[in-house]
Structure 1
Amino acid sequence: MQNKNKTLVKSMDLLQLFITHPALSLNDMVKLSGMPKTSVHRMLMSLEEMGFLARHEDGQYSLGLSFLQFGQLVADRLDIRQVALPIMQELRDDVGEAVNLIMKDGREAIYVEKVDTNHPVRLYTKIGRRSPLYAGDSRIILAFLPDQEREQYLRETELTPRGLGTITDKDKLRRILQKSREDGYTISRSELENDTAALAAPIFDHRGRVYAGLSVAGPDDRFQDERLPELSVKVVRAAEEISRKLGWEPSSRIPL
């Protein structure tokens, strides 16, 4: 504390109150912070002048537009690949399978990062590869899109076979998407390439919107049913860790 500016620290303590309270009055902040009323009032005036707090007609304060601006800058400048790569490497080392990071790009998905397995028999996926949102590990993004956006995609998209397991019946696909939302992950077999399998989980951004997908993928014979519970737990946990580093909190997820 001796190297910190005490006024700045106290101002940050006031701002921290708004993490759990959308709006507070001067008296509320005095009570919650335990600081003298004159000190709180002085800091409020400075924070309001700088745009970090906004005062409403009823005398209550809420976070100001400066936070919106800074928050958007942080989000825009955050490279998900840099955030995800160490976690992807840990997951690869843990499960021994290739790990992919997938993002939505228009009406398709694109593989933006990967970590290969050291297993001699492996599934090769190139960074930059594209796939339809309805098939394979990319389907996890489609599953967690808002209802209206997902339904529009399904209405306008022809489900063309890419592998022996590609789902081409839209009603069946809707049921699988619903199950993926309930389970928190999706499993695909031979949907993009024959004799392959993938297990994917969603990554959310700071607004609670699906931002990307994280998957482990490999030959189908290494994804037997008895292994799936363990894999699903580890993939979901890794995806949640990436989501948190992007500013996501479980309570911020947008209802589907």
Structure 2
Amino acid sequence: MQSQNKTVVKSMQILNLFMNHSKLTFNEMLELSGLPKTSLHRMIGSLEEMGFLTRDDDGYYSLGLIFLQFGQLVGERLDIRKIAYPIMKELRDDVEEAVNLIVRDTNEAMYIEKVDTLHPVRLYTSIGRRSPLYAGDSRIILAYLSEEEREAYLENIELKPIAIGTITDKKILRHALEDARMKGYTITSSELEDYTKSVSAPILNGKNQIVAGISVAGIDARFQEDRLPELIEKVKNAARRISLKLGSQTS
């Protein structure tokens, strides 16, 4: 086992003490964990510095507020799958294309639900797949981040070509993001896989913050120009319905 893995295991050993105790002193953690005093002292300091533990004026430690944020994110993402799935299935049955549900995971996007097309020729997209926020149907999430978050991402990301249509120029990407926010949807072509197309729309929570994106995607031969207006309206409507169930006030 590598030393960094041992550190993670010991950290979890400390945090797990709070599964059955709302607060503990250092000596109580020392007794319950069985860890050496110097190691425990060092690790508690690191956990406190990172916000995983907090200490009150009486010297008692408890879990930090960061766990509320993690819990909210996990709950939101689990709830959104349950809420979104029937609407995704209706959309798939209506347009006969694959429907994806995508969330942000740090600087990437993750596909957390999918209703596949019944067409024999289809895209390979599985639940758990990751993609960069700047490319493909994931870009709708980047478009709806706050300006501060969006610019921080753009300043630090290298735009690498993935397929023949991937945007690799930040000026063009910024324009595409602005266009997406103005119109309320994105259309992408051959950005993650060659000869594919997707239409995406944002899913918002009760604070009207982006929590996910929904898209229909398939081979570009089935996404002809005369069909796009219909797909756009239906994807936006599905996103709106899910958003309303999450408490969004968008009309």
Q: TM-score scaled by structure 1?
A: 0.68
Structure 1 residue matching 2:214: 3-state secondary structure: strand
Letter in 2 for 1:88: M
Structure 1 residue matching 2:114: 3-state secondary structure: strand
Q: Does 1:241 align with 2:205?
A: no
Structure 2 residue matching 1:249: 3-state secondary structure: coil
Give, in whole Å, the separation in 1 of the partners of 2:200 and 2:191: 13
Structure 2 match to 1:107 = 107
Distance apart, 1:250 and its partner CA: 1.6
The alpha-carbon distance between structure 1 residues 195 and 158, as it changes in their structure 2 partners (threshold 3 A), is same
Distance apart, 1:226 and its partner CA: 1.0
Give, in whole Å, the separation in 1 of the partners of 2:75 and 2:176: 32
Q: Percent identity?
A: 61
Structure 2 match to 1:162 = 162
Structure 2 residue matching 1:226: 3-state secondary structure: coil
Give, in whole Å, the separation in 2 of the partners of 1:138 and 1:107: 11
Q: Does 1:87 align with 2:87?
A: yes
Structure 1 match to 2:116 = 116
Structure 1 match to 2:219 = 219
- Give structure 1 stretches of 5+ with no counterpart: 1-68, 252-256
Structure 1 match to 2:62 = none
Give, in whole Å, the separation in 1 of the partners of 2:91 and 2:113: 14
Letter in 2 for 1:232: I
Aligned length: 181
Structure 2 residue matching 1:188: 3-state secondary structure: strand
Summarize deviations over 1:1-47 as a string: whole Å, max 9, x none: xxxxxxxxxxxxxxxxxxxxxxxxxxxxxxxxxxxxxxxxxxxxxxx
Structure 2 match to 1:63 = none
Computed over aligned residues only, the root mean square deviation of the Cα atoms, in angstroms, reads 1.9
Distance apart, 1:76 and its partner CA: 3.8
Structure 2 residue matching 1:240: 3-state secondary structure: helix
Distance apart, 1:124 and its partner CA: 2.1
Matches within 5 A, 1:125-140: 125-140=125-140
Summarize deviations over 1:113-153 as a string: whole Å, max 9, x none: 00001111111210000000000000000011111110110
Summarize deviations over 1:39-82 as a string: whole Å, max 9, x none: xxxxxxxxxxxxxxxxxxxxxxxxxxxxxx9xx98x94661100
Q: Does 1:196 align with 2:172?
A: no
Would you identify which runs of 4 or more consecutive aligned residues in structure 1 move more than 4 Å?
Answer: none
Q: TM-score scaled by structure 2?
A: 0.69
- Give structure 2 stretches of 5+ with no counterpart: 1-67
